[in-house]
Structure 1
Amino acid sequence: MGRSVEMKYKRQFPGASPYKDRHGVRRWRYRKGAFSRELGTDYGSEEFLRRYEAAQTEHRTGRKAGAGASQTVPESINDLVASYYRTPEWRGLAELTTKTYRGIIEPFRVEHGTKLVARIERKHVMAILGKKADTPAAANNLRKRLGQLFDHAIALDWIKSNPARLTKAYKIAGDGFHTWNEVEIGQYFQHHAQGTVPHTAVTLMLYTGAARVDAVALGWANIKETAEGPRLQYRRQKTQKSNGILVSIPIHPDLWAVIGDLPKDRPFLATAYGKGRSAAGLGNKMREWCDIAQLPECSAHGLRKACARRLAEAGATAHEIMSITGHKTLAEVQRYTEAALREGLADSAMEKLLSRPNREQTVVNLQARFATNSTNHLKGE
């Protein structure tokens, strides 16, 4: 296991670490100095959380949880999180989404787990978010998760109002991930020729708008022959559990030229050994490939936005863009269409201004008429 992965686990569950037993099964344990307790094999599950909390209590107090005191304080943050993980809302999320959300929720739970939900006020949430003020995107992500947790507390009749929703989101400079422009796309392809995985990866995401987690899974199984020609079809991993809308895209000639001759027994972005890549692995490789092309601001997610930008500039409506990118709401794609429309309208407006005859004379006449009208008005008074 890499050091970065180990650090991630330590941040989510301090003291928890993985190991393999004599049968090669991956297990977890809580260890603080000479103190050690087993956490089981199902990382992040309810049983894992129960054992983790019990181990923390035993290590802190010197006695086992349940021996004279309940392992979880009723209506505490620990109790709330455990209850939230049992809700249909949580169980309906995709595996990758729950993994991401746990990475945000668990550090909060570890720090504030014993506190009573009813005593958490707006000022407390503001203080918690304030610790992340230097990383406003992270603060806003935590605010969203807290909003969901406290909504659940309201449903349980533990509180009457949601303290997280009484706070304001942090302003983020710019527009999130950098959107690749045409110069950057051309520069990237100058460094990564057709036939290489770096070239295939960017072409695939640029002409489908697929997120990393979807791009790594795409292959010939997603190509469907129709009367109109081949189409690429998939359901976004993020929405699979909720039976997300099927994305069905006609294959652009530039994309077909890149994937048409790829092996049919593996994903398009398979490793040199023919194995599928993880979304995180593709993200790391994209960082390397962009650095080689001297594009420090570019990323995989920026390609999804570049696809939407291109469609908007071509005159596609927000709904048309959504049919390609698989967005569930109009809010995100409308930003691209509105930006493209503003630029086009500005060009149209300037052309109209430039086409007006005797522009300078018109301006002079307007000034003269204004002066005359003003004088007459004063005389009339």
Structure 2
Amino acid sequence: MGSGLKRSRQYPGATSYFDRHGKRRWRFRKGGFSVELGSEYGSEDFIGRYEAALEGHRTRGGVGAGRAKPGSVELLVLKWYRSQDFLALEASTQRVYRGVVENFRQQHGDKPVHLMQLRHVQDLLAAKADTPAAANNLRKRLIQLLDYAITLEWRTDNPARATKPYKVATEGFHTWTEAEIAQFIRVHPQGTEAHTVMTLMLYTGAARVDAVQLGPWNIKDGRFRYRRQKTKKSNGQLISIPLHPDLASVLATLASDRPFISTSRGTARSVGGLGNLMQRWTKEAGLPACSSHGLRKACARRLAEAGATTNQIAAVTGHKSLALVQHYTAAAEREGLADTAFEKLITRPNGEQNLANHSGRFAKTTNKPMKEKR
């Protein structure tokens, strides 16, 4: 029951049923509007049908722009969905944004956009204070929506921009440690699909959406070349990195006519399917905190520990935001600085090390009274 509830929240309106052959299938059903979604929950085909169902429900199911109140949140959201800014986003990003915006629209769709004040935005965010990451996601989407309202001349200001993001205690997806990588390999040795996937993602830093599309065609002259799917609509950011020998030895055993991560039929695995497999593999290895995205962060961590600069790491991972790369590698950089600092502490200019007189190294003693700073 818990799993079904979680799924329904992930794709609102999607419900399952069993056909006459006893096979589980999914359909989108809302307000008398129904569309079949197929049998592979979370697959690319499922997601594509779900997106089409959402659009069909809006335009033909009775909640299209023609029925929305003029100047309402409902109409603003529907217009934003059809804007160049939104349509330029990758499909996976659109799904994430819709997940946040739809909840806001359902609760406040009939309210006039021009009456929204700073206190209203603060109340909306405060309602999610227990989940600061969710509050911050809502804040970002409200900023986008109200910026769009300004372009429509529905408003002259954006009160969401006057708010501050909540502090998030978590550092996001867990970064794999070297011990966890070794543990995974012990349970999933070379030759298994799990080992291939882990090695590919660890030595390329590729996101899951990119990893499922990589194949022999991406390797030329000893380099791995591919364009990031997240930026596909703007021609994609080109990644060109050397092929690591450890990765080369693993890929050399794979078929040359299919993606590196493929099904038994030779077709590319779906992004959702790979995520489900990784959850199973990490659970089998006793590593429930580890994920595919954590391998991407582990790649950045390794590069940082090897002394790579933030720009050099971004050239491998394809991040546009250097701030995000710095977040990935902060722990490694702090450890490196601490090591360097401690080496200076224990090493004399002539190269001799001396830790015999700890008190003399760490503090000076004096009989003079301490002067009070004013």
Q: Counterparts of 2:198 and 2:145 in 1: how far apart (Å)?
A: 37
Describe the SS at the equivalent of 1:248. strand
| Partner AA of 2:190 in structure 1 | Q
| Residue matched to 1:331 | 323
Q: Counterparts of 1:363 and 1:251 in 2: how far apart (Å)?
A: 46
Contact 1:319 1:330 in 2 (8 A): yes
Describe the SS at the equivalent of 2:111. coil
Describe the SS at the equivalent of 2:233. coil
Describe the SS at the equivalent of 1:160. coil
| Residue matched to 1:44 | 54
Describe the SS at the equivalent of 2:67. coil
Q: Could you tell me how far 1:10 is from its partner in structure 2?
A: 6.0
Q: Could you tell me how far 1:364 is from its partner in structure 2?
A: 11
Q: Counterparts of 1:4 and 1:222 in 2: how far apart (Å)?
A: 40
| Residue matched to 2:182 | 186
Q: Counterparts of 1:44 and 1:347 in 2: how far apart (Å)?
A: 54
Describe the SS at the equivalent of 1:43. helix
Match of residue 155, structure 1, among 126, 132, 151: 151
Deviations 1:295-326 (Å, cap 9, x if unpaired)?
A: 11111111110000000100111111111101
Q: Aligned Cα RMSD in Å?
A: 3.0
Compared with structure 1, are the counterparts of its residues 222 and 270 closer, same or farther at alpha carbon in structure 2 (3 Å cutoff)? same
Match of residue 233, structure 1, among 225, 245, 251: 225
Compared with structure 1, are the counterparts of its residues 294 and 315 closer, same or farther at alpha carbon in structure 2 (3 Å cutoff)? same
Over the matched positions of the two proteins, sequence identity in percent amounts to 51
Q: Which moved more, 1:197-206 or 1:121-130?
A: 121-130
Contact 2:142 2:160 in 1 (8 A): yes
Match of residue 93, structure 1, among 84, 89, 95: 89
* Total equivalences in the alignment: 341
Contact 1:17 1:30 in 2 (8 A): no
Contact 2:8 2:15 in 1 (8 A): no
Describe the SS at the equivalent of 1:232. strand
Describe the SS at the equivalent of 1:173. coil
Asked if 1:136 corresponds to 2:132, the answer is yes
Q: Which moved more, 1:93-102 or 1:284-293?
A: 93-102
| Residue matched to 1:76 | 72
Q: Could you tell me how far 1:102 is from its partner in structure 2?
A: 1.4
Q: Which moved more, 1:2-11 or 1:93-102?
A: 2-11
Q: Counterparts of 1:39 and 1:153 in 2: how far apart (Å)?
A: 32
Compared with structure 1, are the counterparts of its residues 343 and 262 closer, same or farther at alpha carbon in structure 2 (3 Å cutoff)? same
Counterparts of 1:192-231 in structure 2, within 5 Å, are 192-224=188-220, 226=221, 230-231=222-223
Gapped regions of structure 1 (runs ≥ 5): 20-25, 56-64
Contact 2:33 2:57 in 1 (8 A): no
Compared with structure 1, are the counterparts of its residues 130 and 278 closer, same or farther at alpha carbon in structure 2 (3 Å cutoff)? farther
Q: Counterparts of 2:260 and 2:167 in 1: how far apart (Å)?
A: 38
Deviations 1:50-97 (Å, cap 9, x if unpaired)?
A: 333449xxxxxxxxx9xxxx6111111111112112222112111111
Q: Counterparts of 2:10 and 2:359 in 1: how far apart (Å)?
A: 73
Q: Counterparts of 1:9 and 1:351 in 2: how far apart (Å)?
A: 51
Contact 2:57 2:63 in 1 (8 A): no
| Partner AA of 1:279 in structure 2 | V
Deviations 1:90-111 (Å, cap 9, x if unpaired)?
A: 1211111112211221122122
Describe the SS at the equivalent of 1:261. coil
Q: Counterparts of 1:298 and 1:38 in 2: how far apart (Å)?
A: 37
| Residue matched to 2:249 | 257
Contact 1:28 1:39 in 2 (8 A): yes
Gapped regions of structure 2 (runs ≥ 5): 18-25, 37-48, 349-353
Q: Which moved more, 1:347-356 or 1:314-323?
A: 347-356
| Residue matched to 2:335 | 343
Contact 2:117 2:159 in 1 (8 A): yes
Q: Could you tell me how far 1:112 is from its partner in structure 2?
A: 1.3
Q: Mark the structure with the bigger radius of gyration.
A: 1
Compared with structure 1, are the counterparts of its residues 259 and 363 closer, same or farther at alpha carbon in structure 2 (3 Å cutoff)? closer
Task: State TM-score, norm by structure 1.
Answer: 0.80
